[in-house]
Chains A and B, each alone.
Chain A
């Protein structure tokens, strides 16, 4: 596809369940980012990959959050033992290169609701 694709679009999980969110970046894009967006807020950085290497995971809120990109393309964000405070929209973005003038291209996001 032409853009960043995320699935599922919506996810409802019971507290304590594990969830996996998928991101398919634009083909050939080296850099991949995950963001968390709470209601009424701007996106907050979670983690960054350059190809398959996770270069920064400083934004992950707890050790229940785990991200991978094993072949340098598709990425998965996993949240273990979900809590209500994990309810948010999770946005994935990719860019061809990383430079001052390179915009991030975002997917539509996955809206996670933890009940």
Chain B
């Protein structure tokens, strides 16, 4: 069975600084996809970034990038130049056949 682990329940970062949110996973499938979502207090899950297991390069989307280390089974999200609006819950997820399995999430607070 697949498993997603997010070990940081809460993180603080100062505005304009970079922050890394950790995610490790466990799977026996050679082909898999990893996703990061943001959930602000409004409740909606917002898709941020995707990394495929066979992708040659780390994924990037604007200020978001993935530090993908396949041998270590980690897919950490890096947010550069943090903004106050980045304060939210962040979830790492892995596709299991068709659905996504989510980790418990990390709460990020960006301070002025």
The answer to whether A and B come from one shared complex is: yes
Residues of A at the B interface (CB closer than 8 Å) are 31, 33, 40-45, 48, 50, 55-56, 89, 91, 93, 98, 100-101, 103-109, 111
Q: A42-B102, A48-B99 are in contact. List 8 more A-B contacts (CB 8 A).
A: A33-B99, A43-B45, A43-B91, A56-B98, A100-B53, A101-B50, A105-B47, A109-B44
For the A-B complex, the count of residue pairs with Cβ-Cβ distances under 8 Å equals 57
In the bound complex, do residue A108 and residue B42 qualify as a contact, i.e. CB atoms below 8 Å apart? yes
**Chain A residues whose C-beta falls within 8 Å of the C-beta of B31 in the assembled complex:** 100
The number of chain B residues with a CB under 8 A from chain A is 26
Which 3 pairs, one residue from A and one from B, show the smallest C-beta to C-beta distance?
Answer: A42-B102, A106-B45, A100-B33
CA–CA, A101 to B4, complex, Å?
17
Return A66 CB to nearest CB of chain B, in Å: 18
In the bound complex, do residue B102 and residue A48 qualify as a contact, i.e. CB atoms below 8 Å apart? no
In the bound complex, do residue A100 and residue B95 qualify as a contact, i.e. CB atoms below 8 Å apart? yes
